[in-house]
Chain A
C-alpha cells in the first residue's frame, strides 16, 4: 500500500508538472482573443484618413468576430494615435507589444511613423502590416522579416497617374507642381518628375511650388500659376490642403485653364462635391473607388460600402480599403499558418513564415506580398472626374486599372534608379478602360 501510495504521489506530481507545462501550450494553441494594435491618426490634419481607417477597423473586426473570429479566435483592437508624435508613438507601440501583448500590429499611415516602427517591430519580433504608409525606400533599403506592406508604395501610385496623363493628354508641353512641403510632397514629385523626364523629355517644368503643410491660403500660388499658364498642374496634396487649393483655384478659373492632376484625390472627391469640375485626373493610391468597376456588383463590396456610409455618413475612401487589406492579410496569414500547422493554432513565427507570397483580397483586385522584399503588389485605379445623375459630387470616368506587376519597381531595385531606366514606350502598355456605370 505504501509503495502504491508513493507511486500515486509520483504520478500525481508528474501529471501536475505536465499540467503546468502543458497549460500555457494549450492556451497558446487557442488564445481567448487575437489582439491587434493599430496605429492611425486620431488627431491633426491626417485624421481625415485615420478616423475613417479606425471606423473601418472596428467594422471589420466586428464582422470577423460575428463569423467566429480568425481560426475560431475573436479579434480585439487597440488604437494608438500617430498624431501624438514620434516619441509618444514609439512608447505606445512598445506598450502595445510588451504590456498589452498584442499578437500583431498594423502600423502606420505616415511614412515617418513606419520608418520609426518597422525597425522596432523587427527588434520586438512583432508581426507588423504597414497598412497605409507609402515611402518606397523603407522596404528597398533593408529586408525585414516581421514587417509587410499590404498595399503598394508611392512609385506605382505615381507611375500609374503619369501613364494615365500621358495616355490621355499626350501633347502637353508644360507642367507645374504644387505639393505640400514635407517628405511625401517632395518624394512623390521626385518619383513623378523622374519618370516624366524619361517618358516625355520635352516637357518643361515651369514651377515647383511647395507651400507649407497645412497652409490656409494658396492665393499667391494660384496667381502665379494663372500667370504662367502651365498645361498641367500636378499635386499630391491631400485633406484640407487639397480642398483649399482646389477651391481657391476653382474660384479663380485656374481649374479651367490647366489640366489638374490630383494624384491621391480620390479621398477628396466626395467632400469637394460640386466644387470639383469635370476633367480632373484623379489617383486613388491603389484600385480604390467605392464604385470600383470590377467590384460594383459584388455583394460583399456593396454591403460593406453601405454599412460604412451608415456608420460614418460617407462612402469609403482609400485608407478604409487599405485597412480592409491589412485585415485580409492577417486572416490569410493565420489561415495559411493554421493549415501548415495541421489545424493547430500557430506560433507567431509560423504566422510570419506564412506571410511571404501570401495572396489576399480586400475590396479591390487581389494583392500579393512579394517574398523578396515583403512589398505588396497592388493594382492602381486612375480616372477623370465627370458629372453623373444621382450624385452630389463628381464620379470617376474613363477609369484605367493598372496591373501591379507592370508598374511596380522590380524586387531588389531602388525605385529612383529603376525609374531612370524607363523609356517613352513604357506608356504604351495595355490597360483596360472602364466607363462610369458600365
Chain B
C-alpha cells in the first residue's frame, strides 16, 4: 500500500469511526452507570436519524442552513422524550433485578420501536442530504471527499469526547454521577438522588445515540433495520474497549474504523469480519476489554 492509499484509507476510517464512537459511547456510558446493556440503543439511533431527516426536509424550503440545528433538535427530542420515557416507565422498575430481565426489557423496547418506526416512516428508504450538500468537497490526492465526512463528523466526535470528559470530571453533576457509579448506597446515604442520576445518564446516552443517527442521516439511506446494524457494531466497539470506558471507546472506535478501511483496500472480503475478529481476539486475551478494569467500575 502506497502513501496515497494510506492517507485515503485513514480519512475513510476516521469518518466512519466518528459515527461509531458517538453511538458506542452512549451505550458504554449507560452500562457504566446503570449496569444495563441497552439493546434499544440501536432504535434510539434509528429514531434520531429518522426524526432528523423529517425535520431537515421540513426546514429546507425555509433555509437549508436550518438543517444543522434540526439535527441537534432531533437528537435532543429523541434523547429526552424517548430516553426519558424508557428509563422512567421501564428501566426504573428493574434496577437491581436479574440482568437477563433487564436485557429482555430493552430487547422488547427495541422490537416495539422497530415496528413503531415502520408505522411512522414506512418502509421506503428516506434520504435527506441537505446538510452534506451545503458544504464543499475537498480534494485529497485527486480523490474528492465531502467536508461533512472528513471535517464535520470527526469534529463533532472530538467535541463529544471532550465534552463528556469535562462534564463528568469538572462539573458537580458529573461528580454526582461518578459517585453513584462508584457506590450507589453510599451516595444515596449522603443525599444524592440516585434515581435522578440514572435518568439523566440514560438521557445523555440516548441523546448520543440519537445524535449519531442524526449525523448519519445526511450520508445514508434510512431504512427499516438500520438500528440493528448499528447496535451490533456498537456492542462490538464497547465490548472491545471495556464497557463503561469513554476514552477507551474512542480509541477502539478509531482502531476498528481504521482497520475496516484498510481491509477494504487490501482484503475487502474481510470487511464484515474485521470488527468482530478484533473483538474476539481482545476478549480472549482480556475478557474485561482493552481498557476495562477487572473489578473497579469506571466511567
Contacts and interface: CB of A to CB of B under 8 A. Distances in A.
Contacts of A253: 137, 144
Nearest to B123: A47
A275 B16 CA distance: 23
Nearest to A246: B221
Given A219-B149, A247-B129, A271-B124, A240 B222 contact: yes
B149 A220 contact: no
B159 to A, nearest CB: 21
Interface string A216-231: 1101110110110000
Interface residues of B, number: 48
Contact of B271 (A211, A216, A219, A244): A211
A223 B137 contact: no
Q: Majority SS of interface residues in chain A?
A: helix
Most A Cβ at <10 Å: residue of B4, B143, B229: B143
Nearest to A268: B125
B124 A48 contact: yes
B272 A216 contact: no
Nearest to B140: A223
Nearest to B125: A240
B88 interface: no
A271 B11 CA distance: 30
A373 B9 CA distance: 49
Nearest to A248: B219
B229 A214 contact: yes
A239 B4 contact: no
A220 B137 contact: no
A187 interface: no
B221 A247 contact: yes
B126 to A, nearest CB: 9
Given A45-B223, A219-B15, A227 B123 contact: no
A240 B133 CA distance: 19
Nearest to A251: B146
B41 interface: no
B125 A212 contact: no
Interface in A193-216: 207-212, 214-216
B192 to A, nearest CB: 39
Interface of B: 4-5, 8-9, 11-13, 15-16, 19, 115, 118, 122-125, 127, 129, 132-133, 137, 141-146, 149, 216, 219-226, 228-230, 260-261, 264-265, 268-269, 271-272
22 contacts: A45-B223, A45-B225, A47-B118, A209-B268, A209-B271, A212-B229, A214-B228, A214-B229, A220-B265, A221-B264, A224-B8, A227-B5, A227-B8, A240-B221, A240-B222, A247-B221, A248-B220, A251-B132, A251-B146, A252-B143, A271-B124, A275-B129
